[in-house]
Amino acid sequence: MKFELVELTRLSGKKATFYSLILDDEEMTLFDKFIEENDAEFSDEIDSIFDTLTKIGKKYGAAREFFKENEGKLGDLVCALYDTPHSNLRLYCIRLGNAVIVLGNGGYKSKTIRALQESPKLKKENELLRVFSELLHKKMLDGDIYWNGDMELNGDLIIETDE
């Protein structure tokens, strides 16, 4: 599998930089797929997510209060974006400090579901970000991906694995 980190310039701002992933030479990022899969049924929630992301990127940065942490394994930095209390959508991401967020995919989360493992779609999207987080961490330790200033990642932003 191949992961390519791409900056989402339309969301990035002076307080935070957003990235998403393109898998295996596909055309769309995971975040774009999330929007495409959910916009027809949950357009108000998608608008709310964009409002929150705009606030993070341009005004506040990736402060903890915007995220539900520990949505993956301990230390993998996988979290979910907090949205309105009555939201049905779950958007998974990786929060790298207060300035860099890697947006993944997610989906519908019924109020009757207590754990993401009860939804095959949410489980799949969450596990994909866990795998990527581990690979990203290794690439950063090896110096292949590095911080450029406070808010950007540089280096080889393509990560390949045999999985």
Cα-Cα-Cα-Cα dihedral sign, residues 126, 130, 131, 132: positive
User: 24 to each of 8, 45, 57, 109, how far by Cα in Å?
Assistant: 18, 29, 27, 27
Whether this prediction's pTM lies above 0.75 is answered by yes
Residue 80 has pLDDT above 80, yes or no: yes
Section 70-84 average pLDDT: 83
Task: Give residue 119's pLDDT.
Answer: 82
Section 52-68 average pLDDT: 94
Q: In angstroms, rounded to a whole number, what is the distance separating the alpha carbons of residues 130 and 110?
A: 22
Provide the number of structural domains found in the chain.
Answer: 1
Section 29-53 average pLDDT: 95
* DSSP-derived 3-state class of residue 103: strand
User: 69 to each of 4, 66, 79, 92, 162, how far by Cα in Å?
Assistant: 24, 9, 5, 10, 28
Residue 32 has pLDDT above 70, yes or no: yes
Task: Give residue 163's pLDDT.
Answer: 64
Q: Domain holding 125: CATH number?
A: 3.30.2310.20
**91: containing domain:** 2-160
Section 70-76 average pLDDT: 80
Residue 59 has pLDDT above 70, yes or no: yes
DSSP classification of residue 59: I
H and E: helices and strands count for the chain: 3, 9
| Mean pLDDT (the chain, rounded) | 91
Section 133-144 average pLDDT: 94
